[in-house]
Structures are given as C-alpha cells and as structure tokens.
C-alpha cells in the first residue's frame, strides 16, 4: 500500500512514464516546450504527437526549466495536504530546475527534501521509481534517502541517436562536424558522468549502436542481470527499440525490463531517433 504521507515528485527531466507515475502516485512537475513560437506543457501532449511536431518544425524545440513559482505552487499544495515531499531532481549540473526547487522549498512551511540525482532521463527516473517502490513497501523517508545516496553512484546510462541532424540544429555540434559525421555514418556513444553527458566513443553505422550498448553495459555492470531492472528507451524509431529489447532479453536477461519512450524535454535535445539503456551497476 502506498504511503500517501511521503509524496515523490520529479519533473520531465526524469522521463517518468505516465503509467508508472499513476501507479506509484508520483507527481510530475511540468516543463514548457516551445516549438516554432508555440508553447506546450510536456504533460499536455503525448510523446508521439511531439515526434511528429518535431520532425515538421522549422527550428529546434526549446525547453524551459520549471520555475520557482511552479515548485512553490506544487510544494504548497502537497504540504497543505499533510504530505512530506521528496523531490528527486534531474542533474543540477545539466539544468537550473534543481536550484528553482531549492529556492521554492525555503519559502514553503512544511517538510520538503530535495535530492540531486546527478543524472538525466530515466537514469534519474530509475531513482524516482526505486524511491516510490520503497515507499510503497513501507520504508521510512530516512531509509529511502540513504538508499538513494547509494544508488546514485550506481546509475549507468548508455545512449546514442541515429542522426546527427538534431544535434546540429541544436548547436551542439558544428555544421562541418555534422556533415562529416553523416557522410561517414558516425554515431556518438554517450553516457552520464558526474551529472553531465559525455561522449565516450563513436561507432560507424546505426547497426553498431545496439551491440555497442550491450557490450558497454556488460563491461560496466557485469554479466549477471538476474536481480537487475533494465530500462530501454527510444523515440519514434520503434524498430530499433524492438531490436534493443530482443538483445537485452537475449544477452542480459534481466529480472525486469521497462520500456519507455523519450519524452519532449529529452527529445528536444537528442531528436526522435534516440535510443538508450539504463540500469544500476
């Protein structure tokens, strides 16, 4: 039974699937997406709708962080209901959302705990889900916070995308680098270290992305996944997700496999051709 006195909160950076958020009573702070001059809240459009909008957009979408006011309103509402708030933030090094939450918490009369995940997307989401499951099982807030401290250093993320075009549009790589990369079919292999995204290598051709993700996962996390939860995610490249799913089940055979689609805040940076995996080491 879910302990309603401890309310787990996250935002779009955590890429928490809505069905899991509903199941575990997780509050999601909405982020704002701007596409060709029109603003949307990420919770008001589906991932699939966003992929279509992004592919048709003239310019790269822009994401606005949750503000002090957003957090103040949500924190006020939750503590007025008698809840203790546990907000698990996306990496403070990647977004100012964490700092907005810290400032808002100081102006709310109630018990609010803010935890820096030092990760993004479902790397952060795995911590959110772990906390929610512990609370459902009856763990105290101190027990949850202690476990989150341990788990934070064990988050592993491996990801890539099947096109450099959206990195170019977003100004994350130069036009020349994108041109050469696309000509040679080079794809970056990315991970998260110390709260930031790093490129740890590259592969030539989309077909090498999934084998590289699996290989890297085994190198970092070991060979035995019988007690591990693995999450895989993608954009609208559903065929690649099925291929990654088959590879994970065949070569890792984890205790649990969670499939997610990349939400608008994450897709705004990577493009809809994203593919990735996360688990605990």
From 91, 124, 153, give the residue that closes a domain.
Answer: 153
What pLDDT sits at residue 157?
Answer: 95
Taking the CB of residue 140, how many other CB atoms lie within 10 A of it? 12
Q: Is residue 49 part of a domain?
A: yes
pLDDT beyond 70 at 178: no
Percent of the chain with pLDDT over 70: 91
Asked which of 151-155, 172-176, 199-203 is least confident by mean pLDDT, the reply is 172-176
Are 35 and 76 in the same domain? yes
pLDDT beyond 70 at 228: yes
140 vs 169, residue with greater confidence: 140
For residue 27, the SS3 value is: strand
Are 19 and 74 in the same domain? yes
Cα distances from 100 to residues 28, 75, 107, 122, 155, in angstroms, run: 15, 12, 11, 21, 24
What's the per-residue H, E or C state across 57-97? CCCCCEEECCCHHHHHHHHHHHHHCCCEEEEEECCCCCCCH
Percent of the chain with pLDDT over 90: 54
Per the listing, tokens 């911590």 go with 127
- Structural domain that includes position 16: 6-153
For the question of whether the overall pTM of this predicted structure is more than 0.95, the answer is no
What pLDDT sits at residue 8?
Answer: 97
Q: Is residue 26 part of a domain?
A: yes
Task: Read off the tokens for 67.
Answer: 């503000």
Asked which of 62-66, 179-183, 186-190, 235-239 is least confident by mean pLDDT, the reply is 179-183
Output the CA torsion sign for 237, 151, 201, 267.
positive
Q: How many domains does the chain have?
A: 2
Tell how far CA 198 is from the center of its chain. 15
- Give DSSP secondary structure letters for 115-130: EE----HHHHHHHHHH
Are 43 and 89 in the same domain? yes
Asked which of 77-86, 143-152, 176-185 is least confident by mean pLDDT, the reply is 176-185
Are 12 and 100 in the same domain? yes
pLDDT band for position 1 (cuts 50, 70, 90): very low
What pLDDT sits at residue 247?
Answer: 98
Over the stretch 58-112, which tens digit does the pLDDT of each residue have? 877 888 888 999 999 999 999 999 999 999 999 998 888 999 999 999 999 999 9
Task: Read off the tokens for 59.
Answer: 């310019």
Mean pLDDT of 195-221: 91
Are 100 and 199 in the same domain? no
Are 239 and 208 in the same domain? yes
From 153, 176, 197, give the residue that closes a domain.
Answer: 153
Are 224 and 251 in the same domain? yes
Q: Is residue 1 part of a domain?
A: no
Write the CATH number for 62. Answer: 3.40.50.10170
What pLDDT sits at residue 180?
Answer: 62
Q: What is the mean pLDDT of the chain?
A: 88
pLDDT band for position 162 (cuts 50, 70, 90): confident
pLDDT band for position 173 (cuts 50, 70, 90): low
From 153, 187, 212, give the residue that closes a domain.
Answer: 153
Buried b (16+ CB within 10 A) or exposed e, 175-211: eeebeebeeeeebbbbbbeebebeeeeebeebebbbe
Partnered with residue 10 across adjacent β-strands are: 28
């Amino acid at each position: 039974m879910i302990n309603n006195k401890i309310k787990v909160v996250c935002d779009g950076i955590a890429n928490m699937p809505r069905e899991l958020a509903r199941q575990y009573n997780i509050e999601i702070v909405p982020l704002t997406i701007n596409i060709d001059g029109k603003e949307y809240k990420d919770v008001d459009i589906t991932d699939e709708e966003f992929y279509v909008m992004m592919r048709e957009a003239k310019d790269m979408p822009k994401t606005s962080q949750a503000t002090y006011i957003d957090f103040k309103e949500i924190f006020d509402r939750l503590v007025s209901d008698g809840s203790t708030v546990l907000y698990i933030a996306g990496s403070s090094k990647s977004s100012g959302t964490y700092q907005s939450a810290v400032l808002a918490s100081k102006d709310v009369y109630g018990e609010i705990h803010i935890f820096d995940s030092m990760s993004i997307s479902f790397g952060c989401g795995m911590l959110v889900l772990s906390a929610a499951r512990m609370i459902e099982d009856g763990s105290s807030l101190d027990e949850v916070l202690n476990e989150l401290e341990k788990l934070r250093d064990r988050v592993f993320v491996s990801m890539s995308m099947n096109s450099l075009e959206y990195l170019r549009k977003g100004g994350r790589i130069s036009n020349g680098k994108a041109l050469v990369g696309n000509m040679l079919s080079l794809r970056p292999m990315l991970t998260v270290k110390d709260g930031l995204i790093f490129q740890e290598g590259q592969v030539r051709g989309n077909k090498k992305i999934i084998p590289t993700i699996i290989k890297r996962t085994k190198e970092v996390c070991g060979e035995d996944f019988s007690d591990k939860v693995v999450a895989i995610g993608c954009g609208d490249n559903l065929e690649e997700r099925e291929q990654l799913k088959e590879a994970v089940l065949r070569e890792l055979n984890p205790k649990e496999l969670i499939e997610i689609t990349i939400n608008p805040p994450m897709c705004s940076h990577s493009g809809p051709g994203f593919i990735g995996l996360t688990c605990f080491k």
